């Protein structure tokens, strides 16, 4: 994809995190409890079945998420974070914290703008 040598590690790291629903999927799995496919669907009410499947497959391929199929009918498939996937936890937490601060900053800015406009 990106060809600039020496700094594309940003991009590599982000591919594991980026995607409309990936952060939310990871957020739930990082709680530690394995989740079944439809449990995840219920936690992400707006995701389509297709996208959930695609993202889980991607995460599985990167060994961030483990997929366990129980040979039952009706089928049971459990997704859980791998030990390796756990290494994303501090990264995501840092992003989360920066995001919270960023929102707060925006909020303050807007409040200030309104104040000076009504002066």
Partner DNA sequence: TGGTATAGTATGAAAAAAGGTACCGTAAGG
Partner DNA sequence: CCTTACGGTACCTTTTTTCATACTATACCA
Nearer to DNA, 38 or 113 (CB): 38
Q: What is the Cβ-side half-sphere exposure of residue 87, based on CA atoms within 13 angstroms?
A: 7
Q: What is the footprint of DNA within residues 55-74 (CB under 7 A)? A: 56, 67, 69, 73-74
86 binds its own copies (CB under 8 A): no
Shortest distance in whole angstroms from residue 37 CB to DNA: 4
Q: Encoding tokens for residue 95?
A: 């992003």
51 binds DNA (CB under 7 A): yes
Q: Which helix (H) or strand (E) holds 104?
A: helix 89-117
Nearer to its own copies, 38 or 84 (CB): 84
Tell me which DSSP letter residue 70 carries.
E
Q: What is the Cβ-side half-sphere exposure of residue 93, based on CA atoms within 13 angstroms?
A: 7
Tell me which DSSP letter residue 7 carries.
-
Which among its own copies, DNA, none contacts residue 119 (Cβ within 5 to 8 A by kind)? none
Closest to 67 measured CA to CA, from 31, 40, 27, 90: 40
Q: Encoding tokens for residue 21?
A: 């629903």
Q: What is the footprint of DNA within residues 15-34 (CB under 7 A)? A: 19-21
With contact defined as beta carbons under 8 Å apart, do 42 and 52 qualify? no
Stretch that binds its own copies, among 40-48, 49-57, 69-77, 110-118 (CB under 8 A): 40-48
Provide the binding-site residues for its own copies, judged by CB under 8 A.
1-4, 7-14, 16-18, 20-21, 23-24, 27, 43-46, 62, 84, 87-88, 90-92, 94-103, 105
């Amino acid at each position: 994809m990106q060809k600039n040598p020496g700094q594309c590690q940003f991009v590599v790291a982000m591919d594991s995190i980026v995607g409309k629903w990936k952060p939310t999927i990871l957020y739930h799995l990082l709680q530690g409890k394995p989740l079944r496919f439809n449990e995840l669907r219920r936690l992400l009410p707006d995701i389509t079945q297709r996208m959930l499947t695609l993202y889980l497959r991607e995460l599985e391929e990167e060994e961030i998420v483990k997929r366990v199929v129980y040979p039952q009918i009706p089928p049971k498939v459990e997704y859980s974070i791998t030990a390796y996937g756990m290494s994303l936890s501090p990264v995501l937490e840092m992003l989360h914290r920066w995001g919270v601060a960023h929102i707060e900053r925006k909020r303050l800015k807007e409040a200030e703008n309104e104040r000076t406009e009504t002066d």
